Structure 1
């Protein structure tokens, strides 16, 4: 993490201890035969002991810490953008569920209208039946249609409940079965503009790849550090003094590893290749997104054209139904024909309702594809 990288310049402290036994030690071989007196030449024991405290302070690491900070920031941004991309996918699913609920609500509303229409005609049939000018089978036909509507209502309510449960899981909020959802308002679209989170992800990935060049340069630069060592052992710094002694060392250390120069060019080529692949991936994404926008724009226009005809179809279907109701009362129309006219009007209203929901959904899909 960035916080850990920032601690690279803190002093490093370590404690070490060791005990060794050597097969041989340093000796002073002096020929004393020609000397008038005998020298006492010290020797070192083969068993040696040492305990030290080592302290080092990095002065300059060739820019390695700076490059690590840049990489940590870049990688953090990449992870953040990945989360945004995942949330974008979740938002798309939420939109589908939301408009699914709106479509079910429209269906339930039309079921209610159709039911009133059928019930009104049933009341007429019952009245005619009492006067002996209608048959029981006509009332039975209407009852069958009403029962079918009840079945359809049960199915739609169950579907709505399932959609609400899924939506509740996505938004982490409980939703009552009778909750009412508002239709989104029709808004003007700005065609062509793309601001998807994937583009930000590509940009952050590009930046993360570029920061790797800083790391390559840094590891091929020299490093400078201060160090100090204090300890206690036998022997001390004087190897010929076979006694336990305190000792200390301090200094400056310069290190430069040239091994990375052998692979530097290939590593940079690999980074350039990854950047090039990422650019191709980005351009492909923009192209495919442009195709999706074109398709969705065509769907929006298609729904507009269909909606412009729906009102006329409903008006004509209603007129045919009214005519059928009058003809039935006059005894020149069969009940099954009237039911067909009622269902056709209902179907026309359902079609318009679905076109409206689909039109609004297409607009939302277009904005979703744009990233708005």
Structure 2
């Protein structure tokens, strides 16, 4: 019954009467949804849709209007003359033209522009995912910091319960003449120290909760009970970090740009129709304003793009090599960080092997000290030293448990398991 009572005191010290629970996964999800940067996903998608839609309009008929007025120093003249007939043209000429162009084949330019818009969108989303993924590490630090404080509060409650029993024991010893007021005061001092530690821990927990609340957009986190997560991580699991997807998206973007180089120097085929009103008209020998039209097929080929094509491809190859280097550096750093994190887990596992035995021995020593105080063969100060040592052993075990759990989640974060 005493053990049940002490356990209940410890749990109440941490949880109070609140039944609300908060998991680490809920914090991940809330932090992502609450972070202002997440709204850029919609902006990127809308920008891509607008760009693709605009590119598709490259196949729409293109209508243009132009006008021209000119004065020429000389005009076309007949090499012969006919008496009574004049064929001379005016030196001033005027023209209004409405032209309709329809692309038949553009060498793949429009299609490439659509692909470039989608590839650019994928790169932007990939970079955004990398930025948002970093939130998980911040959540981990805050969440496990609060878990550690909760464990310390639970142990502090057990310590206060133990000191309360010691206070009653010393009071009984005073009545029997084997202890004095100074001994009782020594226990009271330790009780005050324990209560001060509790107050400090609660202030620290509230500070952690406030920051986590700002990050996740949740209110009242300080009143919620954190659920200790369970995790299993295999040493050889595949790396699924968003940075790797970003590198792949960047390579895909370069491939699309390389296709664009080919599309740029391909010939273009289209049809056109012109309706005009000018002086002179198509009949150069007839003066005055006249309407006319022209329709036909147009083939154009801008070979000047070939001048820079080789260097453009070299630039794309250099960019691709740069991405390869960045990925290689990231993977190397990632492997080194993961190896160090696994060594941390192994070190904690080694330390935890002795935690239970240390607690058992410290508990036996503390009980023996209490018995000696009751018999008058040990001072209260010496007994309190053993009580503190037992408490420290239990706190160390709680610390190791949280540290190991956090180390495993650090590995999950590093590899995105």
Match of 1:338 among 383, 389, 400: 383
For the residues of structure 1 that align with 2:373 and 2:283, how far apart are their CA atoms? Answer: 126
8 Å Cα contact 1:216/1:264 also seen in 2: yes
Where do residues 291-306 of structure 1 align in structure 2 (5 Å cutoff)?
291-306=336-351
1:288 aligns with 2:338: no
Match of 2:172 among 127, 131, 135: 127
Match of 2:84 among 18, 30, 38: 38
Where do residues 49-198 of structure 1 align in structure 2 (5 Å cutoff)?
49-198=94-243
Give the TM-score taking structure 2 as reference length. 0.82
For the residues of structure 1 that align with 2:80 and 2:260, how far apart are their CA atoms? Answer: 59
8 Å Cα contact 2:210/2:221 also seen in 1: no
Match of 2:247 among 193, 202, 224: 202
- In the alignment, which residue of structure 1 is the partner of 2:260? 215
- In the alignment, which residue of structure 1 is the partner of 2:25? none
Structure 2: segments with no counterpart, 5+ residues = 1-50
Give the TM-score taking structure 1 as reference length. 0.91
For the residues of structure 2 that align with 1:50 and 1:153, how far apart are their CA atoms? Answer: 92
* Structure ID, larger Rg: 1
8 Å Cα contact 1:82/1:201 also seen in 2: yes
1:7 aligns with 2:57: yes
Shift of 1:104: 0.9
Structure (1 or 2) with the greater helix fraction: 2
| Secondary structure at the counterpart of residue 109 of structure 1 | helix
Stretch deviating more after TM superposition (352-361 or 7-16): 7-16
- In the alignment, which residue of structure 1 is the partner of 2:77? 28
Figure out how many residues of one structure are paired with residues of the other and give that number: 367
Structure 1: segments with no counterpart, 5+ residues = none
For the residues of structure 2 that align with 1:245 and 1:144, how far apart are their CA atoms? Answer: 112
- In the alignment, which residue of structure 1 is the partner of 2:396? 351
For the residues of structure 2 that align with 1:140 and 1:245, how far apart are their CA atoms? Answer: 118
After superposition, what is the alpha-carbon deviation per residue over 1:7-52, rounded to whole angstroms, capped at 9, x for unaligned? 211111223344x3525352537676xx6x3333443252x44333
For the residues of structure 1 that align with 2:351 and 2:55, how far apart are their CA atoms? Answer: 61
| Secondary structure at the counterpart of residue 53 of structure 1 | strand
Shift of 1:346: 1.0
